[in-house]
């Protein structure tokens, strides 16, 4: 397996990437009244200056329906989804949804698309997660055609559509792709408006950004045309052991997924990745969580003092992550508030 080594940025990111966007993911409220709670929370985030809110689409609530509620109930904040699984909705369904959201709040919605995981696609939905890069490429091709108002006439390896047409969008909806491996990064940088990264160690940040910039340039695009987003798990706290365990509890299962496991190994943590996969396969989740040792957790999660967390996120931005999407690991509302307030535009700045 090729190891992804840290390297210098491929481009002068200060000249190429868009301005920094302050972005958050809200706590996940569930049950009766959860939609109203989420909207209230996002209104609070908007009131303290955040540019973006990014919603997950991982079951229990429907992110696209919730996006309509949020767009209608806020004034200026941009709403994104990180990410909609490309396998669970056809391009025609997605195109019609985007037309509705674009009409509701022109210029304020971003669609993030991803292939998701075997657990979700094959387990939850009973579908086959087959040819993910091809499926993503064909989805983008079809969506771009449909959103432009063209009548569909497409037969690919994984998708086909004939005879569907809707009016062209008057305000474009940007399409971003989730990417971990080199093939998906190349596809995203060549065809999408942005790339969404997730759960990578700090040491490979420059290498990942360099890959995206180089792939964009190889496709004849200006590297600055591709917005680079990444989800980050953050907690402002003095209790590092508790924060590390919170990360392990939520995200160990991610690294049992083959795609994330391969990315962890490629980032130089092959021993931990193999131990985690072996433990997860036998159902020993205690041992799987232990495979994510403190050094690995600290290299991925942004946890610690307010100053440490701010400097860590600043490091990502300086490397070229234009939109760090922050999610607080703690379920404690007071810790959440302190964490998010530390990154409000009034409290956190980066050099232009």
SS (H, E, C) the chain: CCCCCCCCCCCCHHHHCCCCCCEECCCCCCCCCHHHHHHHHHHHHHHCCCCEEEECCCCCCCHHHHHHHHHHHCCCCEEEEEEEECCCCCHHHHHHHHHHHHHHCCCCEEEEEECCCHHHHHHHCCCCCCCHHHHHHHHHHHHHHHHCCCCCEEECCCCEEECCCCCCCCCCCCEEEECCCHHHHHHHHHHCCEEEEECCCHHHHHHHHHHHHHHHHHCCCCHHHCEEEEEEEEEECCCHHHHHHHHHHHHHHHHCCHHHHHHHHHCCCHHHHHHHHHHHHCCCHHHHHHHCCHHHHHHHCEEECHHHHHHHHHHHHHHCCCEEEEEECCCCHHHHHHHHHCCCCCCCCCCC
Residue 166 has pLDDT above 70, yes or no: yes
| Spans of all domains in the chain | 23-235+306-342, 239-304
The CATH superfamily assigned to 23-235+306-342 is Luciferase-like domain (3.20.20.30)
pLDDT of residue 344: 96
Tell me how far apart the alpha carbons of residues 166 and 70 are, in angstroms, rounded to a whole number: 24
Residue 352 has pLDDT above 70, yes or no: no
Sequence-ordered list of residues with C-beta below 8 angstroms from that of 31, at least 6 positions apart, any chain: none
Confidence of residue 9 (pLDDT cuts 50, 70, 90): very low
Tell me how far apart the alpha carbons of residues 194 and 149 are, in angstroms, rounded to a whole number: 22
> What is the mean predicted confidence (pLDDT) over 237-255?
96
Tokens of 114: 């991803």
pLDDT of residue 269: 95
Contact yes or no for 25/38 (Cβ under 8 A): no
pLDDT of residue 229: 97
Contact yes or no for 349/256 (Cβ under 8 A): no
Tens digit of each residue's pLDDT (9 = 90 or more) over 96-116: 999 999 999 999 999 999 987
Residues of the chain with pLDDT > 70, as a percent, come to 93
Tell me how far apart the alpha carbons of residues 56 and 232 are, in angstroms, rounded to a whole number: 13
> What is the mean predicted confidence (pLDDT) over 17-39?
88
Residue 71 has pLDDT above 90, yes or no: yes
pLDDT of residue 287: 97
Confidence of residue 122 (pLDDT cuts 50, 70, 90): low
pLDDT of residue 141: 96
Residue 13 has pLDDT above 70, yes or no: no
pLDDT of residue 128: 81
Higher-scoring residue by pLDDT: 158, 224: 158
Residue 17 has pLDDT above 80, yes or no: no
Sequence-ordered list of residues with C-beta below 8 angstroms from that of 311, at least 6 positions apart, any chain: none
Contact yes or no for 317/350 (Cβ under 8 A): yes
Q: What is the rounded average pLDDT for all residues in the chain?
A: 91
The structure's pTM equals 0.91
Confidence of residue 139 (pLDDT cuts 50, 70, 90): very high
Residue 2 has pLDDT above 90, yes or no: no
> What is the mean predicted confidence (pLDDT) over 256-266?
91
Tell me how far apart the alpha carbons of residues 134 and 48 are, in angstroms, rounded to a whole number: 41
Residue 8 has pLDDT above 60, yes or no: no
Residue 75 has pLDDT above 60, yes or no: yes
Tokens of 240: 């590092």
Treating both helix axes as pointing N-terminal to C-terminal, what angle do 306-319 and 205-218 enclose, rounded to 10 degrees?
30
Tens digit of each residue's pLDDT (9 = 90 or more) over 293-344: 999 999 999 999 999 999 999 999 999 999 999 999 999 999 999 999 999 9
Confidence of residue 7 (pLDDT cuts 50, 70, 90): very low
Q: Which residue has the tokens 């392990």?
A: 248
């Amino acid at each position: 397996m090729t190891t992804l080594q840290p390297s210098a940025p491929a481009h002068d990111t200060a000249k190429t990437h868009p301005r920094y966007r302050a972005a958050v993911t809200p706590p996940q409220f569930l049950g009766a009244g959860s939609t109203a709670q989420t909207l209230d929370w996002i209104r609070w985030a908007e009131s303290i200056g955040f540019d973006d809110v990014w919603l997950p689409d991982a079951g229990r609530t429907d992110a696209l329906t919730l996006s309509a509620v949020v767009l209608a109930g806020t004034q200026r904040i941009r709403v994104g989804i990180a990410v909609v699984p490309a396998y669970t909705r056809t391009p025609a369904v997605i195109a019609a949804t985007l037309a509705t959201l674009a009409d509701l709040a022109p210029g304020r919605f971003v669609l993030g698309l991803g292939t998701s995981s075997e657990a979700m696609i094959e387990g939850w939905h009973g579908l086959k997660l087959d040819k993910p890069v091809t499926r993503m490429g064909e989805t983008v091709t079809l969506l771009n055609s449909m959103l432009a108002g063209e009548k569909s006439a497409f037969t690919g390896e994984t998708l086909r559509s004939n005879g569907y047409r809707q009016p062209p969008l008057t305000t474009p909806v940007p399409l971003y792709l989730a990417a971990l491996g080199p093939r998906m990064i190349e596809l995203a940088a060549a065809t999408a408006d942005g790339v969404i990264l997730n759960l990578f160690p700090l040491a490979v940040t420059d290498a990942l950004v360099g890959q995206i910039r180089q792939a964009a340039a190889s496709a004849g695009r200006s590297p600055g045309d591709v917005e680079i987003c990444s989800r980050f798990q953050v907690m402002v706290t003095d209790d590092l052991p508790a924060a590390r365990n919170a990360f392990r509890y939520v995200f160990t299962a991610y690294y049992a997924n083959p795609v994330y496991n391969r990315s962890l190994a490629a980032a130089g943590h092959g021993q931990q990745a193999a131990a985690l996969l072996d433990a997860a396969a036998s159902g020993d989740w205690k041992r799987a969580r232990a495979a994510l040792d403190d050094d690995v957790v600290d290299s991925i999660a942004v946890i610690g003092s307010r100053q440490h967390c701010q400097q860590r996120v600043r490091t990502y931005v300086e490397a070229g992550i234009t939109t760090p999407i922050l999610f607080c690991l703690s379920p404690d509302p007071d810790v959440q508030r302190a964490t998010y307030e530390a990154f409000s535009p009034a409290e956190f700045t980066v050099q232009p």
